[in-house]
Amino acid sequence: MAASAAILLSAGSLMLSACGGGSETRYRAGDDTEARQFAWGIPQHIPLPIVPDDNPVSEPMFQLGRHLFYDQRLSGNGTQACASCHLQSMAFAEPLERSIGSTGELHPRNAQSLVNVAFNPTYTWANPSLVTLEQQIVVPLFGEFPVEQGINEENRDEVLARLANEPVYPPLFAEAVPELAEGERINFQVIVKALATFVRGINSFHSDTDRYESGEANVVTEAALRGRDLFFSEDLECFHCHGGFNFTDSTADSSQLFVDTPFHNTGLYNIDGEGAYPEISEGIIEITGIASDMGRFRAPTLRNIALTSPYMHDGSIATLEEVIRTYAAGGRNIVSGANAGDGRANPFKDGFISGFEITEDEIQDLIAFLESLTDYEVINNPRFANPWDAQP
């Protein structure tokens, strides 16, 4: 992480947990009526996300964050916005295998969907030390390895000046942080909090499966229902890593006594026969240094998964059908090339990736169920759309 990013982190009031996964006590209880006054888009039966005490949600902060999210001026060279790699039409993911930063540098990992990330206990694919959105957002803004939006010590004042000179921003900042004096409002701590609030507010609970689970009839096809039975069966074991209201075991909310931070090795690689993944992206071992953490990544939500191809941490699987076939085989066997090796025999592979029998019809049923997790409201909701498109 860039030095400037570290400085910003230390200045903020952020929750940190030990590296290496595990669990952390984070418990809030009681009446959340006041908290639900914010337009969360979260049904009453779903607990609210955990929100840092020093960044309570508000509509003015959400709207400021929405403008910043879509603004290329928030990058070192003025060419890239958060939205450049997180497209609303793709549930805030992108179609590239791996993202490209503002200076043309190829990112080692695939851009994940941002929908429902308010419920993540950790952020990015494999960093157990990033436990809040406020921490994570510093990385694409200021990170150097790789460069994403490319803000650094040399250009940060220029970036702030660009924002200050845009007439839309001064009133937005004034409404978001009225407690700050006029000349102190446009700064990176406020920018990070605003971006976090916008992303925290992008929630998705209006898929056909949501309607089915709420009691609506005839909203899910027979094929999807058969796929649902397969998904939640012990034969396929999908639900162990992709269960719960957010379809991932990596979920935290304000009702929980304990928050787990699981990571999984799914047997994608085994380059040296001893479990190695490509050096460019090895999992949480990059943070922990623990050998058995090789190839361990966070399981993403499966909500809107039909919109977010390609798949896996490096975008190396193109289709849902290929993903299912990989898990059915108990991992991926790469027979040639630089990454050749039998991932099925990876010694660090998760115990749930044991393989299973599945017919061609069942594969299509399972895909139908996954497609029923698509929320077309979230990808068409003007609340999450580019506000600059509406500017005169």
Cβ-Cβ contacts under 8 Å for 114 (sequence gap 6 or more): 86, 91, 92, 93, 199, 202
Rounded CA separation 80/63 (Å): 19
Q: Tokens for 77?
A: 């060279």
Residue 19 annotated as binding site: no
Crossing angle for the helix pair 59-69 and 188-200, to the nearest 10 degrees: 100
Tally of CB atoms within 10 A around 242: 22
240 a known binding residue?
no
Q: Find, among 301, 302, 295, the residue nearest to 316 by Cα.
A: 295
**Residue 238 is labelled as binding a ligand:** yes
Backbone angles phi, psi at 74, to 5 degrees: -85, 55
d(CA 193, CA 185): 12
Report residue 33 as tokens: 């009526």
Does the annotation list 242 as a binding residue? yes
- 249, 242 contact by CB (below 8 A): yes
As a dihedral over the C-alpha atoms of residue 3, residue 7, residue 10, residue 13, rounded to 10 degrees, the angle is -130
Annotated binding-site ranges? 82, 85-86, 238, 241-242
Annotated binding-site ranges for heme c? 82, 85-86, 238, 241-242
